[in-house]
């Protein structure tokens, strides 16, 4: 299977992770013009499963190092599979809440709050897993400082979003609901990665401990768990949505092929980022790969500013906050990279 053996390359992959995690929300935004997020999400999880299998049958099967995907999954212990399934269920619950927040209050509110909180708590959880496995690769002090600066950047992003022009289109009640959903999503989301990392052998993907799994088995089992769990969560949020009228499963089959493909692309983009976070964790460490990936709100902010023009018409104070945000973000990323080196 394909394994990363260079820290600089692992860091490069972490920036790809950030790009993927910060960009998949564009597919929901594009589909929202004619498609409820409850319906979009079915395509999203299907896209995750399809892309995870594609990765496992290519990068996870070919290459001179480590176990191939089929050998790896055949020897996986029940405990490892259980951690992956739990991680999938936890992620799906949190991501549904984040998607609901996005549909109510927009990307510029949901992503900074939800992902910012998940960043801090998730890094702490992943550090615990690394320590338990004796695989701690990071300078904890530098990592903490870098994460703190990224959190400040996320807060500045949230403040700028609250002051941008056009916010009057969202009622205070909906804004409050969106904020609450994002905060709950962030707390829940902070746990999924650490559960998955318990199933991986973070010390050496080329010579993995028996019963532990590699990144390609992890992303396949994780994605399947998300799909299975959605047969529980999906009907609930369709019957009792956070906003709007209930929607039936029949409406899903009335969507055109273009709309379904957009949703599947969203799932594939997120899946690529997540698979790379597992692959990079073998060299960069679980906490660093997760911390860099959770810089996703800044990527979402770039999309919002330059592509979707979400800040159009805002005053100079808003743009000053955004400029300061990017300064803190870039310095924080630099410290996180240095922490892993």
Q: How far apart are CA 180 and CA 125, in angstroms?
A: 22
Rounded Cα distance, 88 and 279, in Å: 17
Task: Report pLDDT for 310.
Answer: 75
* pLDDT at residue 314 in the model: 87
**31-60 as b/e: b if 16+ CB within 10 A:** beeebbbbbbbbbbbbbbbebbbbbbeebb
Q: In angstroms, rounded to a whole number, what is the distance separating the alpha carbons of residues 116 and 165?
A: 23
At residue 98, the pLDDT reads 86
Query: Per residue in 117-138, pLDDT tens?
Result: 898 899 999 999 999 998 888 8
What is the pLDDT, as a whole number, of residue 309? Answer: 81
* Predicted pLDDT at 55: 98
The pLDDT value recorded for residue 169 is 67
pTM of the model: 0.91
Position 168 scores a pLDDT of: 59
Q: What angle do CA 336, 126, 204 make, to 5 degrees?
A: 90
Give me the residues of the chain with pLDDT under 70, please: 107-108, 166-170
DSSP state of 209: P
Determine the length of the chain: 341
In the numeric block, which tokens belong to residue 57?
A: 């049958």
């Amino acid at each position: 299977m394909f394994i990363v053996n260079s820290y600089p390359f692992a860091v490069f992959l972490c920036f790809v992770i950030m790009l993927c995690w910060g960009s998949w929300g564009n597919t929901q935004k594009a589909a929202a013009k004619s498609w409820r997020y409850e319906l979009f999400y079915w395509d999203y999880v299907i896209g995750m499963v399809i892309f995870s299998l594609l990765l496992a049958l290519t990068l996870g099967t070919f290459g001179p190092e480590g176990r191939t995907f089929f050998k790896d999954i055949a020897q996986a212990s029940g405990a490892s599979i259980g951690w992956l399934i739990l991680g999938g269920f936890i992620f799906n619950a949190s991501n549904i809440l984040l998607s609901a927040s996005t549909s109510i209050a927009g990307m510029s509110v949901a992503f900074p709050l939800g992902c910012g909180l998940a960043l801090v708590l998730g890094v702490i959880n992943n550090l615990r897993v690394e320590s338990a496995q004796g695989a701690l690769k990071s300078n904890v002090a530098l990592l903490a400082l870098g994460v703190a600066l990224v959190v400040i950047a996320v807060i500045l992003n949230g403040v700028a979003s609250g002051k941008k022009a056009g916010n009057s289109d969202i009622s205070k009640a909906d804004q409050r609901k969106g904020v609450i959903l994002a905060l709950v999503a962030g707390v829940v989301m902070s746990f999924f990665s650490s559960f998955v990392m318990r199933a991986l052998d973070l010390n050496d993907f080329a010579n993995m401990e028996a019963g532990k799994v590699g990144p390609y088995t992890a992303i396949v089992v994780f994605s399947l768990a998300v799909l299975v769990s959605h047969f529980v969560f999906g009907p609930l949020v369709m019957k009792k949505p956070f906003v709007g009228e209930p929607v039936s499963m029949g409406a899903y089959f009335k969507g055109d092929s273009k709309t379904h493909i957009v949703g599947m692309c969203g799932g594939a983009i997120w899946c690529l980022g997540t698979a790379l976070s597992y692959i990079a964790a073998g060299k960069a460490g679980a906490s660093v790969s997760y911390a860099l990936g959770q810089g996703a709100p800044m990527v979402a902010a770039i999309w919002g500013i330059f592509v979707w023009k979400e800040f159009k018409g805002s005053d100079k104070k808003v743009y000053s906050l955004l400029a300061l945000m990017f300064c803190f973000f870039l310095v924080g990323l630099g410290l996180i990279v240095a922490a892993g080196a």
